Amino acid sequence: MKKLTVLIVVLALIFVACKNEKKEPVIEDAVEEVIEVVEVATPKKVTMALAAKSDSNVSGNVVFTEEDGTVNMTATISGLEAGEHAIHIHASSDCSSPDGKSAGGHWNPTAQQHGKWGDDTGYHKGDIGNFTADESGNGTISFSTDEWCIGCDDETKNILGKGVIVHAGADDFTSQPSGAAGARVSCAGIIE
């Protein structure tokens, strides 16, 4: 009986030992899928109609687009007297007064002197410049800058809430505070 007990114990040990034999885990090659999300920035765009002011018949439209940190402005104007005219961004989008003065003065968030855009002695962020109307009273001006933005958090660059004013005359780039450009003959608010 003692031999039988020893035999059972030996068989049990062999059985347990075989069962506890460690198997190496099978590692399959892992394939990692990487999905790259690329944000495509849609250009920001604001289009507005110019309304006649100061008993003029001046009208047109202004389009601002922002892409890759640069704002482009294109204004197409009609009903002007032939010759040079100033166009500026003013402090307010309020064009409710008959003379356009409700738009305030030139937009000047950096408290600079009035001048020609890019002048070393200073210029307002609203000092766009002059353009020429042809004999039919039509004029176009395009302007690009990285010193403006459409709806950003930088109040020294954000043009939303400002106004575009077309003047009866040319900007002389020296008279303070606005360049002696004459009456405001058209106005549009830059509203998104």
* 69-123 per-position pLDDT tens digit: 999 999 999 999 999 999 999 999 999 999 999 999 999 999 998 888 888 888 8
CA–CA separation, 98 vs 102, rounded Å?
Answer: 9
CA–CA separation, 109 vs 135, rounded Å?
Answer: 36
Q: What is the pLDDT of residues 33-50, one digit of tens each?
A: 666 766 666 788 999 999
Most confidently predicted of 4-8, 65-69, 126-130: 65-69
Q: Is 75 domain-assigned? A: yes
- Please report, for the domain that includes residue 115, its CATH number: 2.60.40.200
Q: Tell me 92's DSSP state.
A: -
pLDDT tier for residue 172 given thresholds of 50, 70 and 90: confident
The CA dihedral of 183, 184, 185, 190, to the nearest 10 degrees, is 170
The number of beta carbons lying within 10 Å of the beta carbon of residue 13 is 10
Alpha carbon separation from 102 to 49, 67, 72, 99 (Å, rounded): 17, 30, 25, 8
Q: Lowest mean pLDDT: which of 2-6, 118-122, 165-169? A: 2-6
**Residues of 168-181 as b/e, b for ≥16 C-beta within 10 angstroms?**
bbbbebeeeebbeb
Q: Is 38 domain-assigned? A: no
Q: Is 22 domain-assigned? A: no
Q: Is 82 domain-assigned? A: yes
Q: Could you tell me whether strands 139-145 and 44-52 are parallel, antiparallel, or unpaired per DSSP bridges? A: unpaired
Give the chain's domain count.
Answer: 1
Q: What percentage of the chain carries pLDDT values higher than 70?
A: 78
Domain that holds residue 80: 44-189
